[in-house]
């Protein structure tokens, strides 16, 4: 994060901006007295802001540092507010799109697992049929060898199918983990966006301009979508674990 952004969030530099904006021109010494801070601190803040053209600094004949709020400074503050607004709008739009795609993937995954569960039930049913065949073998010794061979073939097929099913489950679980990773990235982006919104609020206050109050609401809506996706992801993970236990018994 840029130095001036960090200063806006972590220091009282926004109070300095308000004073300079109101007075138009004021010495670092006077600001120091008003904020009860060392002159050196005021000078450091002034240097940070002047580098960004958020305010202007110069020295008077006595050598005192003078902070001024020129037209160009006001314009720069407005530009920074608009720039941050555009960045946030763009990033929020991108996150919204990504969240929608993840939500769509989760819906499709739920449909897929329903079909997958039906396949597992059918396969498990076939396993029960084999047990019935074993009972018939004990009653019909003349067909024992033939049926045993059939059972071996069926068991081989089931083992082969189980390997395929386990691979499918592994792929699905990896996909769920990837979704969880994406959600963590969205959450990190959300934290940074909230910081930028706080900066806009403070800059807007310094130039008497309303800040965009709807941005935080959009991010909160995205956060709700993320929570819903995480809930669905965990539900899928639980279902796949149950399926894996069923397969281990076959």
Q: What is the pLDDT of residues 57-110, one digit of tens each?
A: 999 898 899 999 988 888 887 887 777 777 777 877 787 788 788 778 878 877
pLDDT in tens, 172-229: 667 767 777 776 777 777 777 777 777 777 776 666 555 555 666 777 777 777 777 7
Q: Please tell me the distance from the alpha carbon of residue 32 to that of residue 185, in angstroms, as a whole number.
A: 41
Facing residues of 67 across strands?
26, 57
Residue whose C-alpha is closest to residue 21's, from 9, 13, 29? 13
Q: Are 124 and 245 in contact (CB under 8 A)?
A: no
Q: Please tell me the distance from the alpha carbon of residue 90 to that of residue 77, in angstroms, as a whole number.
A: 20
> Mean pLDDT across the stretch 139-156?
69
- The pLDDT of residue 89: 77
Domain map of the chain by residue range?
Answer: 3-69, 81-123+157-249
- The pLDDT of residue 33: 92
Q: Is 68 helix (H, G, I), strand (E, B) or coil?
A: strand
Residue whose C-alpha is closest to residue 4's, from 88, 242, 16? 16
- The pLDDT of residue 30: 93
Q: Are 104 and 235 in contact (CB under 8 A)?
A: no
Instruction: Classify domain 3-69 at the CATH class level.
Output: mainly alpha
Residue whose C-alpha is closest to residue 151's, from 165, 137, 141? 137
Q: Average per-residue pLDDT in the chain? A: 76
Residue whose C-alpha is closest to residue 231's, from 98, 95, 103, 93? 103
Half-sphere exposure of 16 (CA within 13 A, CB side): 34
What value does the CA radius of gyration of the chain take, rounded to a whole number of Å? 33
pTM over the 0.85 mark: no
- Beta-carbon contacts of 60 under 8 Å, excluding residues fewer than 6 positions away, are 27, 66
Q: Are 190 and 223 in contact (CB under 8 A)?
A: yes
Q: Is the pLDDT of residue 54 over 80?
A: yes
Enclosing H/E stretch for 73: helix 71-139
Residue with the larger pLDDT of the pair 13 and 4: 13
Q: Please tell me the distance from the alpha carbon of residue 235 to that of residue 231, in angstroms, as a whole number.
A: 6
Beta pairing class for 25-27 and 65-68: antiparallel
> Mean pLDDT across the stretch 31-43?
91
Q: Please tell me the distance from the alpha carbon of residue 34 to that of residue 115, in angstroms, as a whole number.
A: 70
Residue with the larger pLDDT of the pair 243 and 29: 29
- The pLDDT of residue 133: 65
Q: Is the pLDDT of residue 145 over 70?
A: yes
């Amino acid at each position: 994060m840029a130095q001036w952004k960090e200063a806006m969030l972590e220091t009282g530099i926004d109070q300095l901006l308000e004073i300079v904006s109101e007075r138009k021109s004021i010495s670092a010494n006077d600001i120091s007295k008003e904020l009860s801070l060392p002159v050196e601190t005021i000078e450091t803040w002034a240097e940070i802001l002047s580098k960004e053209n958020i305010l202007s600094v110069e020295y008077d004949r006595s050598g005192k540092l003078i902070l001024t709020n020129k037209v160009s400074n006001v314009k720069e503050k407005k530009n920074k507010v608009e720039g941050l607004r555009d960045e946030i709008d763009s990033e929020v739009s991108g996150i919204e799109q990504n969240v929608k795609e993840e939500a769509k993937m989760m819906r499709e995954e739920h449909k897929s697992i329903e079909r997958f569960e039906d396949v597992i039930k059918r396969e498990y049913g076939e396993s029960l049929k084999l047990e019935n065949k074993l009972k018939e073998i004990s009653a019909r010794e003349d067909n024992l060898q033939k049926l045993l061979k059939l059972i071996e073939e069926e068991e081989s097929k089931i083992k082969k199918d189980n390997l395929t099913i386990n691979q499918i489950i592994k792929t699905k679980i990896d996909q769920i983990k990837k979704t969880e990773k994406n959600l963590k990235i969205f959450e990190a982006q959300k934290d940074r966006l909230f910081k930028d919104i706080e900066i806009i609020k403070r800059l807007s206050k310094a130039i008497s301009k309303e800040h965009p109050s709807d941005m935080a609401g959009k991010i909160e809506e995205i956060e709700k979508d993320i929570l819903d996706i995480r809930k669905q992801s965990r539900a899928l993970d639980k279902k796949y674990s149950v399926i894996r236990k069923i397969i281990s018994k076959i």
